Amino acid sequence: MPRLTEARSQLRRDQIVQAARRCFVRNGMERASVADITAESGLSAGSIYAHFGSKADIVRAVVQDVMDRRALTLAAYASGVRPPSPTQVMVLLVAATDPDEARIALQAWGEATTDPAIHEIVVSMIDRMRDLFRVGCEAWLVEAKGYERAAAGPRATRIADHLVAVYQAHLIRAALLGAPDAVDDAALTDVVEAIS
């Protein structure tokens, strides 16, 4: 049997991750079996195990994929020519929330309490998001509010901590109700202004 090229191997891994994601959304991480993932992917069990050593490895890959997608979305907003306000970023990020990804994130938070590898992924992702929020907020404070960079840093950190909490609340709501609430622009702006 010919060996898979690296690109083809990555395509198979992605196929398995997406199939597992659909199974986890439908049945939950705990109840979805490797047999479910195999059937959903259309691949053989041998192919699944050629790419992942266990269901736990698949779970970790799905969690990493979902978390990376959120970080990419946030990074795209933060990399604009003129930094958006924290409120604008939150409105855009919440509007881009996929309820299925929110379900995976919520399940991952639960799994993170007992699985050290998922714990590491989730904590790393929260830290990464906080840092992306902080960088964007600092740029906004300097460019839109006229702060010196040294003074903007501590304020940006406080705003970023608040934004992470607000975003997590919206993810929970999206996971449980199928869609996040709209961001209360005025209330969030008031909080950001009070911090800045």
Nearest CA-CA partner of 90 in 195, 189, 196, 194: 189
Percent of the chain topping pLDDT 90 = 49
What is the tens place of the pLDDT at every residue in 155-194? Answer: 999 999 999 998 899 899 999 988 767 777 788 787 777 7
Tens digit of each residue's pLDDT (9 = 90 or more) over 52-79: 999 989 998 998 898 788 778 777 776 6
How many other CB atoms sit within 10 Å of the CB of residue 187? Answer: 11
Per-residue model confidence (pLDDT) at position 1: 47
Burial classification of residue 158, based on how many CB atoms lie within 10 Å of its CB (0-12 exposed, 13-18 middle, 19 or more buried): middle
**Which structural domains are found in the chain, ordered by start?**
1-53 (1.10.10.60), 63-195 (1.10.357)
pLDDT score at 187: 80
Enumerate residues 6+ apart whose C-beta is below 8 A from 84: 77, 78, 92, 136, 140
Q: What is the reported pTM? A: 0.81
Q: How far is CA 97 from CA 12, 46, 108, in A?
A: 26, 34, 16
